[in-house]
Amino acid sequence: MKHYTSLRCDLKEFPIFVAIAKYVPPADEVDGLALEEGDEVEVLDSGNPERWLCRLLGRPDRQGWVPPSYLVARTDEKLDTRTTQEVFREDIIQISNKQQEAVMKRRCAGQLAAANESVPIQLAQCRFPGLGISSAKI
Model confidence, pTM: 0.50
Residues 54 and 24 in one domain: yes
Q: Which domain holds residue 89?
A: 84-137
> Is 113 inside a domain boundary?
yes
Under the banding of pLDDT at 50, 70 and 90, the label for residue 66 is very high
In the chain, the number of structural domains is 2
What region, left, alpha or beta, does residue 7 occupy, with left being phi > 0 and alpha being psi -120 to 50 degrees?
alpha
Higher pLDDT, 26 or 109: 26
| Percent of the chain residues topping a pLDDT of 90 | 33
> Is 62 inside a domain boundary?
yes
Distance (Å, rounded) from C-alpha 51 to C-alpha 66? Answer: 5
Higher pLDDT, 133 or 99: 99
> Is 25 inside a domain boundary?
yes
> Is 5 inside a domain boundary?
no
Residues 93 and 127 in one domain: yes
Instruction: Please report, for the domain that includes residue 38, its CATH number.
Output: 2.30.30.40
Long-range contacts of 5-13 (CB under 8 A, 24+ apart): 7/60, 8/60
Q: Average of pLDDT values for 44-68?
A: 92
Residues 68 and 33 in one domain: yes
> Is 61 inside a domain boundary?
yes
pLDDT at 28: 92
Residues 107 and 129 in one domain: yes
Residues 29 and 52 in one domain: yes
